[in-house]
């Protein structure tokens, strides 16, 4: 299947896709859309950046366009649950873009903002409602919304719902839905509790997998830089001095850390902003809009906040802190090299993070190469690591080779001591600018 016209979608939807210069479906879209058009339940195992939003939005819009009827008051025909405010907004925006010629109503409901406008939007009935679980429950408990008429239920980013503690809320919401409905369930990973939830929700589903759960995107060039924690901000500012780093997403383990990184970059003359749960909704939206427009070069985010970031043309992902959960590494670096483009991922590894790096390498079954142009000494844990190899060096038999204990102290992780002031500084320089990623492909998110 080479074009959206082959899928049998409504001409008004095809017109909207053409206006966005979307011509060819991604693998998950090509596999999922035909089944969803027939009304089947679906279990989609898909990482971020694979185009799964359009995979469910397009057939939903097609169904509503073919069966025109007004939504009941204080209700909706389609309910989409999302873990974060940003992702909910992005999904709603996608529905509006693809359905702009259909005259369907779309509303988004999440916390952190006044409930009044949401209540007024729901009062007359909504065709498509995108919501986060907490605020949706507030409206249900307040009698402002009923779910009896829902025809299609979508649960997106189910594994992130689990991480954020929303599973209990979901279990409260599901009984309020009608028994007869179409269910769409998407998750990047399938831990036991998510598998149990999927089995409860789905009836005879078709299963679509686009990539192995632990496989990193082939178009992401991965690197690791061994650096002391105290020198990470200095190294990040130096990296961002490279011309090729045009739009950079930086991951911090903590909210406080994200703020400190952003302030350090701003002090170095680099436009940066932080986005995390402690920021107001307005501040988060302004930071994301500035990043999308290119006014901000670096957006510093926590894992939870980043789930709602859907930005084309992210040239680099920087793991300022390595994640505690190895699967999060795959999700993070998937923010670049999206929809067929190329990108670069750079991970900072402090001495106390060597164990996290080993866990990541076991998961992805490859060795992350040392950062090109960074004159660090050979890593004594991995003396055979090659500094320049696309995608990394695979391990023998799919397992990592590690020797010895992680070194500590100055000089053992790519540092040298500046005798003039006693500060540790990253060794070496950056001789080559990083390659810019390829242009955006013609597939929707």
Domains of the chain with CATH codes: 4-209 (3.40.50.300), 220-426 (3.40.50.300)
What's the pLDDT score for residue 442?
60
What's the pLDDT score for residue 119?
95
What's the pLDDT score for residue 217?
62
Burial of 364 (0-12, 13-18, 19+ CB in 10 A): buried
| DSSP-assigned states of every residue in 346-374 | EEEE-GGGHHHHHHHHHHHTEEPPBPTT-
Give the residues of the chain that fall short of pLDDT 50. Answer: 212-214, 375-441
How many Cα neighbours within 13 Å face the side chain of 60?
36
Compute the chain's Rg from CA coordinates: 23
Burial of 334 (0-12, 13-18, 19+ CB in 10 A): buried
CB 132 within 8 A of CB 91: no
CB 392 within 8 A of CB 369: yes
What's the pLDDT score for residue 439?
47
| DSSP-assigned states of every residue in 14-48 | HHHHHHTT--S--HHHHHHHHHHHTT--EEEE--T
What's the pLDDT score for residue 414?
34
């Amino acid at each position: 299947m080479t074009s959206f016209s082959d899928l049998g979608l409504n001409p008004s939807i095809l017109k909207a896709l053409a206006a966005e210069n979307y011509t060819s479906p991604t693998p998950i879209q090509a596999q999922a859309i035909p089944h969803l058009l027939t009304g089947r339940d679906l279990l989609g195992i898909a990482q971020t950046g694979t185009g799964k939003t359009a995979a469910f939005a397009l057939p939903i819009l097609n169904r509503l366009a073919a069966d025109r009827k007004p939504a009941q008051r204080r209700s909706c025909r389609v309910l989409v649950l999302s873990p974060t405010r940003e992702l909910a907004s992005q999904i709603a925006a996608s529905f509006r873009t693809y359905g702009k010629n259909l005259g369907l109503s779309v509303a988004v409901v999440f916390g952190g903002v006044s409930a009044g406008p949401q209540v007024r939007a729901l009062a007359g009935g909504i065709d498509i409602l995108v919501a986060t679980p907490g605020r949706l429950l507030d409206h249900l408990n307040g009698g402002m919304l009923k779910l009896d008429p829902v025809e299609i239920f979508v649960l997106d980013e189910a594994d992130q719902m689990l991480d954020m503690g929303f599973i209990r809320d979901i279990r409260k919401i599901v009984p309020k839905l009608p028994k007869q409905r179409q269910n769409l369930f998407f998750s990047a990973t399938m831990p036991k509790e998510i598998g149990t939830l999927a089995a409860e929700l789905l009836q005879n589903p078709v299963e679509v997998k686009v990539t192995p759960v632990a496989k990193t995107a082939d178009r992401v060039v991965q690197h690791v830089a061994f650096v002391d924690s105290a020198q990470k901000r200095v190294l990040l500012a130096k990296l961002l001095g490279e011309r090729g780093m045009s739009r950079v997403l930086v991951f911090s383990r903590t909210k406080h850390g994200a703020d400190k990184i952003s302030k350090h970059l701003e002090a170095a003359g680099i436009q940066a902003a932080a986005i995390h749960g402690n920021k107001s909704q307005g501040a988060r939206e302004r930071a994301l809009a500035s990043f999308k427009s290119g006014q901000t070069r670096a957006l510093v985010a926590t894992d939870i906040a980043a789930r709602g970031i859907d930005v084309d043309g992210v040239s680099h992902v920087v793991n300022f802190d390595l994640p505690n959960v190895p699967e999060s590494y795959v999700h993070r670096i998937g923010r670049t090299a999206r929809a067929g483009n190329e990108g670069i991922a750079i991970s900072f590894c402090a001495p106390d993070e060597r164990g996290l790096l080993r866990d990541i390498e076991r998961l992805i079954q490859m060795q992350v190469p040392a950062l090109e142009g960074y004159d660090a000494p050979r890593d004594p844990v991995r003396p055979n690591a090659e500094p320049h190899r696309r995608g990394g060096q695979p391990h023998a038999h799919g397992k990592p080779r590690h020797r010895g204990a992680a070194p500590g102290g100055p000089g053992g992780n790519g540092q040298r001591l500046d005798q003039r002031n006693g500060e540790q500084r990253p060794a070496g320089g950056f001789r080559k600018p990083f390659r810019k990623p390829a242009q955006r492909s013609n597939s929707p998110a």
